[in-house]
Amino acid sequence: MIVGAGRITANGDVANKIGTYSLAVLADRHGVPFHVIAPISTIDPATPSGAEIPIEERDPAEVTNGVPALNYAFDVTPHGLVSSIVTEAGVLSPPFTEL
């Protein structure tokens, strides 16, 4: 499986559009490699992990009709589910200690 990334943290956690984490879990469950392809500028060495990424919330009205809801725009995929990170500088493999 191949996905993009909006941001990659120093430990290899990946923030991307909502649903990316679910795809990573499915890939892991079925033994399918999960590759992230992004420009090197997406890597944020100043952010240690995905826990420090503020996740954008959108207006609940986009998905409900007057019912309270959380409407996150992004999710974070833990680095343990990522098989590789591919950039124009090369391919990074776990444990992602040199991002």
CATH code, domain carrying 55? 3.40.50.10470
How far is the C-alpha of 26 from the C-alpha of 98, rounded, in Å? 27
Report the domain count for the chain: 1
On whether residue 16 sits in a domain, the answer given is yes
Residue 54 dihedral angles phi and psi, to the nearest 5°: -70, 130
On whether residue 98 sits in a domain, the answer given is no
What is the per-residue pLDDT across 14-70, written as a single tens digit (0 to 9) for each? 999 999 999 999 999 999 999 999 999 999 999 999 999 999 999 999 989 888 999
Q: Is the pTM of this model over 0.85?
A: yes
On whether residue 36 sits in a domain, the answer given is yes
On whether residue 99 sits in a domain, the answer given is no
How far is the C-alpha of 51 from the C-alpha of 31, rounded, in Å? 26
Nearest to 85 by CA among 39, 26, 49: 39
**What is the extent of the structural domain holding 69?**
2-92
Give the tokens for residue 43: 């890597």
The span from the first CA to the last CA of the chain, in angstroms, equals 21
